[in-house]
Amino acid sequence: MNKIAPARAAAFEILLTLERGSGHSDELLHLPAVEKLSSQDRNLTMNLVMGTLRWQIALDARIAALLTKPKTQLDLAVRVALRLGAFQMLYLDRVPVYAAIGEGVELAKSAGNPFAAGMVNAILRKIAAQPKPKESITVTNAAEAALAYSHPQWLIERWVRNFGIGHAKLICAYDQQPAPAFVRLLTPDAEQELLQEGIELGPASFLTAVLRVMQGDVSSTAACRKNLVRIQDESSQLVAELAGRGQRILDACAAPGGKTTILAERNPDAAVTACDVSKRRLSEMQHRLQKTFSGSQIDFLAADAAQMKWKPEYDLILCDAPCSGTGTLARNPEIRYRLNEDELMRQHGRQVAILSSLMRGLKPGGRLLYSTCSLEPEENEAVVYECLNQQNDFELIRLEGEVDRLEREGILLKHGATKLRETALIDGCLRTLPGVHDCDGFFAALLTRQA
């Protein structure tokens, strides 16, 4: 690809890999081929990949309208080259039109489609002549929202039913922007070190130990390398804080380890077991956490939590269950194209199996926090209540009291606690909504086994 800029070449290869159904954007964007690019090219690669994924439905609609036969099944490489070129012209301001068109043509050629170059050139030129999307979007129904916000219509229809049209629009609008980055401060001087390295920081919404990254790349700082800070979404940290205290703790779906780390930090004298079904991800987590914690504090167990014969020996269990991830579409935009409603019920069955199994491992009087990064009731309330109905010695602990506790302990900001009480506590459970809250969408419910 000697005629193509490195960032566009890298973005094209990642998008083509995803279009073939392989990999995940967050992993592909950290492959060695991308890491060796200049900082400027890495940033552009990320913007091209994530932006094209976010706006794929809207881009495809524009492209289809310009085809001689709108229902034509384009070659994968041609489709990706068209999306990438169209995204740059419609949604970016600093990319010259000639570069987006010319390199789009070259990308199609380089992927073995020399005869498609003329079509790619013609369509991209027509798109260049079209007006850019309006910044202010007016929609009155799910069909209009699907195209305006580039989400599957069936997903928006669900959100309208469950949360109302206003909140559904807020979720969609949030998903179309780069997800905010947050850092957890691990030492008293961490904030000052980041500031000295040119990182611009702002307040978080909920937690006192968290700051929002306004400008700069924290992952490249000395503060990050020295483990003075940790990058983690604020709602993910909030879930771990809600879990509370224990002496024998099980994190049942632990990888990549952010919540395990908070549990170990908040319970320095506890014995923590980190369990995950993926041996690879657990091994990576173990290697990373060994730099921070002694070998005696955290044990690592590669196992399927649903299949384990747990004994009632844990007084605190965290079950951050595998899920559809619909609360993280700003961070993982390709999820929306791989998901369907049948998958939600499959996830539900798996989640019920995991939670039911873990309930057997909880001591009488112990606490079990169930959470997901899904917005869907089938994966959240429906799982909790089905499991409660199956095991009558368990009951729900309303999270209002836990929010009060975290505020008293100085873990929650005062205005953050107020915001949670007013907008995120539903029937005793936690539910953050992207757009309503400035973070990923998470659900959490706290259960206890009667003594």
* Tokens encoding 414: 């005062």
Q: Rounded to whole angstroms, how far apart are CA atoms 98 and 100?
A: 6
- Distance, in Å, from the CA atom of 190 to the CA atom of 203, rounded to the nearest integer, reads 14
CA angle 131, 133, 136 (to 5 degrees): 130
Radius of gyration, CA atoms only, the chain: 23
Determine how many CB atoms are found less than 10 A away from the CB of residue 174. Answer: 22
List phi, psi (to 5°) of 201.
Answer: -120, 155
| The token pair that represents 90 in the structure block | 């419609």
Domains 6-128 and 181-230 share a fold: no
CA distance 298 to 278: 17
Q: What is the pLDDT of residue 1?
A: 43
Do residues 204 and 330 touch, judged by C-beta distance below 8 A? no
Segments of the chain with pLDDT less than 70? 1-2, 294-296
The domain 181-230 is placed in CATH, from the list 3.10.129, 3.30.70, 3.30.420, 3.40.1130, at 3.30.70
Q: In the prediction, which pLDDT does 296 show?
A: 64
Domain 6-128, what architecture?
Orthogonal Bundle (1.10)
Give CA–CA dist 187/199, Å, rounded: 16
Q: What single-letter DSSP state applies at residue 141? A: S
How far lies 184's CA from each of 204, 295, 308, in Å? 10, 23, 33
Q: Locate the domains of the chain by residue range.
A: 6-128, 143-175, 181-230, 234-449
Residue range 234-449, CATH number: 3.40.50.150
pLDDT on residue 294: 64
